[in-house]
Amino acid sequence: MASSEERIINLPGVITSLLGAMVAIECFAAAGPRGLVYPFFDAFAFVPLRLSFLLDPQSVLGALNHGASLDTTSGQEQLAAALNAGAAVYITPLTYAFLHGGWTHLAINGLTFAAFGAPVARRLGAALFLLFFACCAVAGAMAHFALHPLDAAPVVGASAAISGTMAAVVRFAFSPGARLGEDGTDRKAQTTSLRRLGQNRQAVIFLVVWFAANALLGAFPEAAGSSEAIAWQAHMGGFLFGLVTFGAFDYQARRWGAESGESG
């Protein structure tokens, strides 16, 4: 019985490492000196306005001059910060995924990540999973950026990347005989093509519920216990990227497995 319980909580090393990094950063945020914590979050959170200004400062200033309003009351401060922002802004579409808005935010994301990230990590392997996680995070940031280029509110959290892993699971979890256990049987389930996915009733129900739930959270963030707007567009971006591209990642993982002599 004890060994069975140990297997249940035995996460892949890449998942444990990513969660450990997020927990370490949250510990720093909670206990570190405010004079260090605030600049750290300010530097590594994703702020669409800063990226917009870095890419095309004249367009941003022109939009503001022609009556466009910044999305938060702190917009003027963020614009002032954008004036001095350097090339480090370009990495924030990834680094924001390791920052969270408190322990509750991290706990929810951590549990979801452990549940959905683990089977994907076992299927892809550590290196490809890290790349997949990073790409989903960036895709989420870019989706939010595309719709809110003048948003001065910092975006933090791994939700977009986690949404990508949830989409990846949809591509193989509903295949006949699929199992998501740590013994590796999850790697034997065939990846369902996007065309056939629409013919799988369970998968369609999951997709409808997921998109509806995220739309509702975007409209009513208080339902999730948040007093601030939820960047649901980032969730959508990460999810869609994961859904569309997982097949390519999975193909590469199987190819590497075959070249290394892996069976199954």
pLDDT digits (tens, 9 = 90+) for 191-239: 888 888 888 889 999 999 999 988 887 766 655 545 456 788 999 999 9
Cα torsion angle, 6, 7, 8, 11, sign: positive
Q: What is the DSSP string of 123-175?
A: HH-HHHHHHHHHHHHHHHHHHHHHH-TT--S-B--SHHHHHHHHHHHHHHHTS
Give me the pLDDT at residue 188, please. Answer: 60
pLDDT digits (tens, 9 = 90+) for 165-180: 999 999 998 875 555 5
Give me the pLDDT at residue 227, please. Answer: 47
* Average pLDDT for the chain: 83
Q: What percent of the chain has pLDDT over 70?
A: 76
CA 22 – CA 42 distance, rounded (Å): 16
CA 203 – CA 172 distance, rounded (Å): 10
Domains of the chain, first to last? 2-259 (1.20.1540.10)
Token match 């490492």: residue? 17
Give me the pLDDT at residue 57, please. Answer: 83
2 versus 36: which is more confidently predicted? 36
pLDDT digits (tens, 9 = 90+) for 182-191: 544 455 668 8
pLDDT digits (tens, 9 = 90+) for 137-166: 999 999 999 999 888 888 999 999 999 999
Give me the pLDDT at residue 146, please. Answer: 95
Q: What percent of the chain has pLDDT over 90?
A: 52
pLDDT digits (tens, 9 = 90+) for 46-95: 999 889 888 888 888 777 766 555 555 455 666 666 666 677 899 999 99
| Angle in degrees, CA 101, 106, 111, rounded to 5 | 155
- Give every CB contact of residue 63 below 8 A, 6+ residues apart in sequence: 150
Give me the pLDDT at residue 190, please. Answer: 80
